[in-house]
Amino acid sequence: MQDRAEYLAYQLFNQDRDTLLSANGQLLNHVQQAAATRYQEAYTKGIHDEDAAKILQALLQLSKEIDLLCFTPNVRACARVFWEEYLGDEARPVHPPAPSKGGDTNAGNTSVSPFGGGWGVDSRPTRELYQKQLKSAGVLLELFPDTHEFDFIIDELENEVKLFQASTGLFTDIQAEKVAQYLFRELARSDKFIISSPAAKLHGEFSKYLKEKKSTSIYENSIRELEGHYVEQFQLIRKWVHAFMVQHKKPQYESYINETATLLLLNNFDKKCVIKTDTTITISDLHGDHALIADSSYQLDYNDFTEKMEHYEREVVPRYTRFVEMKKDLADSYKSQLRLSEFEPRVLSSFVRNQLIDKVYLPIFGDNLAKQIGTADENTRTDRMGLLLLISPPGYGKTTLMEYIANRLGLIFMKINGPALGHHVTSLDPADAPNAAAAQELEKLNLALEMGDNVMLYVDDIQHCNPEFLQKFISLCDAQRKIEGVFRGASKTYDLRGRRVCVVMAGNPYTESGDKFQIPDMLANRADIYNLGDILGDSEAVFKMSYIENAMTSNPVLQKLAAKSQKDIYAVIQLAETGSREGLEFEANHSPEELNEYVNVIGKMLTIRDVVLKVNQEYIRSAAMNDDYRTEPAFKLQGSYRNMNKLAEKVVPIMNDKELDTLILSHYEGESQTLTNGAEANFLKLKELLNTQTKAEKTRWNDIKTTFNKNKIFRNVDGNDPMAQVLAQMTAFTEGLEGIKEVLKKLK
């Protein structure tokens, strides 16, 4: 188990030791800068960085004092056995040379030393040859300490150590590269090997114990019986030393057993070679909370630390990196399969949080959503239930508003497209869908139920859905919060009680024929219903203002005003309405020319707003009327935010009143063309609303209404019915009398 501070200190210690040694009291700053760039390792400022700086300081101090004791006891023991026992002074059989790190491998079984020496196909370098090379290397390194001319010797020694480990089975867990590096550094400066103080103490205590027990001869005889078999001798000596350590309870010598066994095997202990510097240091006042830290103190053993961290970096870190990459790949794969990125709420750049939203919609919607997903306080409801049902003509931002709310609440926005489902879908099972588009929407719906938390389930354009399909949501919207679903072919009952799940439905009751918009009574009883296209309560002023607010970003001139200050928008609107600047204050700086442009454009937009609002009110009034009670054709032109924005983007400050009227009429004339045979009647009705009909247009409009009412009488009458024929004749006679009456009035 590694502490983060340990790993950070180890990384920095290995990267640029010379720079750290010259940090001159700036070590903590260096560590903090390094930790800041390693955000994926999650270091905590003030804890891991400060602890790492203290550990790093201790490592630097020890590295200057312990000389070659920086190599672990096992590395040094392996090096001595290899050098003294495995390498001989006589030529040995050649082996196929392993690839060198620093150069190419020669063809065949002949290896040539880059140093200038060489050996033939029947022999390998001897210890004597290596000694000569290493002495020469030592001389050169004294003059040129940064040279790498003798790196080939390290490579050759590494290959030889690997053969030693493979042929003897000794020290197989020790890195041959470390052993070769130690041999090079040790023998390039002298002929002797250093001895650590703990190994020297263990050697002395073991020998003393044998003398006290008068067992020295027994020990020596057992070793002598294996003479000529140094591998077996070493293993036996190691058992003697380990038994002594265990019996006398000296666990502090555990790491030095191999080094002590080597000294006993070679029988060349030299007090002059003992390095009395301690490789252990105690670090105090640490901030971390870790098993390695006791009472804010940490016992750092240089060899144990480096050995542990080398293993961690060599074995654990690569596996963890592969694990993270695999986890990321799997997560990305599942995200791609589930298409999760499509369900993140994305607020449109054109979205405007106007006063109508702030003062009217958010409070009333908030109450409903609080019932559905609960609140953050301790009094949150446990009986979560309900449904939010939004209706309006198209273009009033139902979907945009709910996507904004989902974004602010941190909910997944799962939009189910009603038109894709159609009137034929009555089941939640994708397998029963009549087409691929409907199946895809049902899969999204069931995925939202499977998520089960932090989800806004938004069913759009429910006027296109079958009432039997909508009935499936009844139990989800009451206190039971249950619904039957099908996920990946398996039927499931989803219990969403206590979950952050809300159900929102939106529809346009004014499209298609009226009998298509049918909401089951039991579902409607559970819903809070709001019409976004109509004035709610006493919100007339903010409702009218919302037309202007939403259109600000559509007009090139007003975009500049909106970018400077939201508060100044209302000041400019007031200025345009009253013509007086008295009491008005502006947050941003506006030149007189800019203010004139703003006022001119706002004034024209107020005119457009009044027209669009009239059209909207007439559209809703007409759409809500039963055909049996009509006295004129249905009015189908719309006055939504979308219409307002389309008109606003074409307004310029220099436009006169006639041009403005032409702009409005041209817009709605184009809109009316989509109504085909109802285009004429709707456009004439619009002109009546605006009081701009000519005399001929008034006459034509009256004729249309008269014909509409006459046709309504005979709409369901059979033409072969004698009574119907009599009724038709009487109607024609009445119309004739009305015509005579009108003529007589004119003669008077």
pLDDT tens for 246-262 read: 999 988 888 899 999 99
Q: What amino acid is encoded at 704 in this protein?
A: I
**Considering the domain boundaries, does residue 326 fall inside one?**
no
Buried b (16+ CB within 10 A) or exposed e, 450-464: ebeeebbbbbbbbbb
| Domain match, 133 and 164 both | yes
Per-residue pLDDT band at 724 (split at 50, 70, 90): low
Do residue 23 and residue 110 come from a single domain? no
Mean pLDDT of 397-410: 89
Asked if residue 383 is part of any domain, the answer here is: yes
How crowded is residue 168: how many other Cβ atoms within 10 Å of its Cβ? 18
Domain annotation covers residue 435: yes
633 closest CA partner among 697, 702, 690: 702
pLDDT score of 99 more than 50: no
Same domain for 241 and 137, yes or no, is no
- The answer on 216 and 167 residing in a single domain is no
φ/ψ bin of 353: left (φ > 0), alpha (ψ from -120 to 50), beta (otherwise):
beta
- Taking the C-alpha atoms of residue 442 and residue 487, their distance in angstroms, rounded to an integer, is 10
Residue 696 sits in the same domain as residue 563: yes
User: Which residues, other chains included, contact 556 with Cβ-Cβ below 8 Å and sequence gap of 6+?
Assistant: 649
Q: Check the CA dihedral 278-282-288-292 and report its sign.
A: positive
| 370 has pLDDT over 60 | yes
What is the pLDDT, as a whole number, of residue 18?
67
Q: Which residues pair with 412 in a beta bridge?
A: 455
Q: Give percent of the chain with pLDDT exceeding 90.
A: 33
When mean pLDDT is compared across 33-42, 168-177, 421-430, the lowest value belongs to 33-42
How far apart are alpha carbons 290 and 4 in whole angstroms?
Answer: 9
Question: Is 80 exceeded by the pLDDT of residue 7?
Answer: yes
On whether residue 14 sits in a domain, the answer given is yes
Residue 122 has pLDDT above 80, yes or no: no
- pLDDT number for residue 620: 87
- Answer yes or no: is pLDDT of 102 > 80: no
Confidence of residue 346 (pLDDT cuts 50, 70, 90): confident
Assigned domain for 223 exists: yes
| Weakest-pLDDT range from 78-82, 170-174, 673-677 | 673-677
DSSP 318-337: HHHHHHHHHHHHHHHHHHHH
The verdict on 619 and 641 lying in the same domain is yes
> What integer pLDDT is reported at residue 613 of this predicted model?
92
Contact (CB, 8 A) for 134 and 78: no
Rounded distance between C-alpha atoms, residue 298 and residue 412, angstroms = 47
Query: Dmax over Cα atoms in the chain, in whole Å?
Result: 157
CATH number at residue 515: 3.40.50.300
CB 167 within 8 A of CB 93: no
The CA distance from 164 to 361, in Å, is: 82
Same-domain pairing of 514 and 656? no
Residues 597-648 have pLDDT tens digits of: 999 999 999 999 999 999 998 998 888 888 888 889 989 898 888 999 999 9
Band of pLDDT at residue 731, cut at 50, 70 and 90: low
CB 352, CB 549: distance < 8 Å: yes
pLDDT in tens, 310-344: 888 888 889 988 998 999 988 888 777 767 667 77
Tell me, yes or no, whether 234 lies in a domain. yes
Q: What is the mean pLDDT of residues 150-178?
A: 90
Which pLDDT does position 643 carry in this prediction? 92
Task: Please give the pLDDT value at position 382.
Answer: 64
In this prediction, residues 393-398 reach a mean pLDDT of: 85
- Of the residues 513, 531, 549, the one at which a domain ends: 531
Band (716; pLDDT cuts 50, 70, 90): low
Q: Which of 501, 531, 561 is the last residue of a domain?
A: 531
DSSP 678: G
CB 524 within 8 A of CB 550: no
Angle at 175 between CA 172 and CA 176, to 5 degrees: 90
At which of 157, 187, 217 does a domain end? 187
Residue 321, in any domain of the structure: no
**What's the pLDDT score for residue 142?**
75
HSE at residue 418, side-chain half, CA atoms within 13 A, is 22
pLDDT at position 532, please?
87
Q: Which two tokens stand for residue 23?
A: 């940090």
Same domain membership, residue 370 and residue 495: yes
How far, in Å, are 162, 175, 185, 254 from residue 74 at the CA level? 15, 10, 16, 11
Within its chain, how far is the Cα of 589 from the centroid? Answer: 40
Same domain, 210 and 171: no
- Residue-number span of the structural domain to which 396 is assigned: 343-531
pLDDT in tens, 535-554: 777 788 888 898 998 898 89
Mean residue pLDDT of the chain comes to 83
Is residue 183 domain-shared with residue 226, that is, in the same domain? Answer: no
Tell me what pLDDT residue 294 has: 77
Range 339-347, long-range pairs (CB < 8 A, 24+ positions): 340/412, 343/412, 343/413, 343/414, 343/415, 343/444, 343/448, 344/412, 344/413, 345/403, 345/404, 345/406, 345/407, 345/411, 345/412, 345/413, 345/456, 346/403, 346/407, 347/400, 347/403, 347/404, 347/407
In a shared domain, residues 424 and 559 = no
* Kind plus residue range of the DSSP H or E element containing 577: helix 566-578
Tokens of 266: 């070679």
Q: Would 322 be classed as within a structural domain?
A: no
- pLDDT digit string (tens) for 504-531? 999 988 765 444 577 888 998 889 999 8
pLDDT band of 563, cuts 50, 70, 90: confident
Tell me how many domains the chain contains: 6
Q: Are residues 596 and 705 in the same domain?
A: yes
3-class SS of residue 415: strand
